[in-house]
Copies of this chain bind each other. A is one copy, B any other.
Amino acid sequence: MTPAPPDTSIPTLGPCRFPSPLHHFGTVEAPFKTETDRILYHSHLLEDGRDVSTPSYEEAGPREKIYFDPPKTTVGIVTCGGLCPGLNDIIRGIVMRCHHQYGVARTYGFRYGYEGLVQRYGHTPLLLRPNSVEQAHHFGGTLLGSSRGQQDIGEMVDTLEDMKVDILFVIGGDGTLRGAAEIVKEIERRGLKKAVVGIPKTIDNDIRFLDKSFGFETAFDAAVQAVKCAYVEATGAVNGVGLVKLMGRDSGFIACYAALAGSNVDFVLIPEVKFELEGDGGLLESLRLRLLKRRNAVIVVAEGAGQHLMETGDATDASGNKKYGDIGQFLKDRINGYFKSRKTEVNLKYIDPSYIVRSVPANAQDNVYCSRLAQSAVHAAMGGKTGMLVGRWHGSFVHLPLELVIHGRRKVDPTQELWHSVLECTGQPAVMK
């Protein structure tokens, strides 16, 4: 337990008399703080009079007594959905811990997502041993392969029964975890004793109730490289415009962070903040003014931004996600059209680095983070926990109920600091309408 700090009061020079100049982003008010906005020092629950009913998470870590008898335990791993840096690190971490620490009987890697749990697809599972995963963290992607979409729950539990899998580790996003919750229910319904532990994956860093999602830092670092290239392109031509589409279906964290990383971004467009193209305050006119002032501009757009501007149908992909219109291509066309109609030369270069961003190997920070997530997952499952997720909260690894992350996503709050910092950094209008 971290000991309490001696004193946390901050000296001041005296009363503040001047109004802050930071009111200025259109209708967006600065997230002003007062001295009563306070961050708790303690993150562990204390015996200090605070009620245990205070919401808190179960801390992750090894249990002194475990539920499964290791030499008789069979483990399975499956990776689902889109690629994300760190998948191989997590697979590696699970295999290493299961074998070297607990000495489980065997670990299977199911191929190509939930398809691998359905026998009629014919994807033979891999028997994973420490030496088959030893170098895996040097490579991007997933050595198991992945796929999108649900499969029949019954067939999947049949496979777990047939292969005598006691513990299933499921790595994937919302849809995948919803599937995992159904697998848990079916296991209960059949009266089986199998643990299902999830590791939530979202490259967008949009999981609520968690510090950060694995792979985000690596992905964001790769995204910044693409934004730098956009800046080079923008400055290399008369009225150069670098347009970069980054991940972010429902939340704009990667786009915001790319701007904050100092790569000279002029406009950040995210799903959480609606914008219009036309009109005096619209994006197109704002861009024109920016070009007049600086001769070049960089625009970073999250893939889920500006969807209301396009005619998009109701189609969904195999994961059940709504198919989004291609905002990057759309903006490219509209910007080119706008300036053409004004007979102004622009040189727009459109960069869509998504597959490059998501398929790089994890960086050192994510190597460690994934390794510890895997470790926490193994400890939990061996302890008989099920229907849960591992994650990090306030710097500590914790257990969360599966349902927690399925209900809603974390978003950029346009009234809070992160977005405010972006507005400061870019100098873009707070409202573009």
Contact = CB atoms under 8 A, between A and B. Distances in A.
A59 B44 contact: no
A232 B14 contact: no
A138 interface: yes
Interface stretch (A151-159, A274-282, A307-315, A384-392): A384-392
Interface in A53-95: 54-70, 83, 89, 92
Contacts of A20: 62-66, 382
B42 A63 contact: no
Nearest to A240: B145
Contact of A32 (B64, B139, B262): B64
Contact of A139 (B8, B33, B232): B232
A384 B9 contact: no
B8 A384 contact: no
A393 interface: yes
Contact of A262 (B33, B89, B194, B397): B89
A41 B359 CA distance: 33
Contact of A45 (B39, B64, B386, B404): B39
Interface stretch (A168-176, A298-306, A334-342, A362-370): A362-370
A132 interface: no
Interface in A229-280: 229-230, 232-233, 235-238, 240, 257-258, 260-262, 264
A419 interface: no
A59 B36 CA distance: 8
Contacts of A142: 236
Nearest to A197: B10
B367 A58 contact: no
Contact of A21 (B17, B103, B230, B371): B103
Contact of A364 (B193, B261, B388, B393): B261
Given A238-B147, A260-B371, A262-B92, A232 B141 contact: yes
B140 A229 contact: yes
Nearest to A365: B217
B356 A356 contact: yes
Contacts of A26: none
Nearest to A227: B364
A211 B394 CA distance: 9
Nearest to A367: B261
Contacts of A383: 12, 16
Given A145-B238, A364-B220, A386 B232 contact: no
Given A44-B39, A50-B50, A238-B147, A424 B100 contact: yes
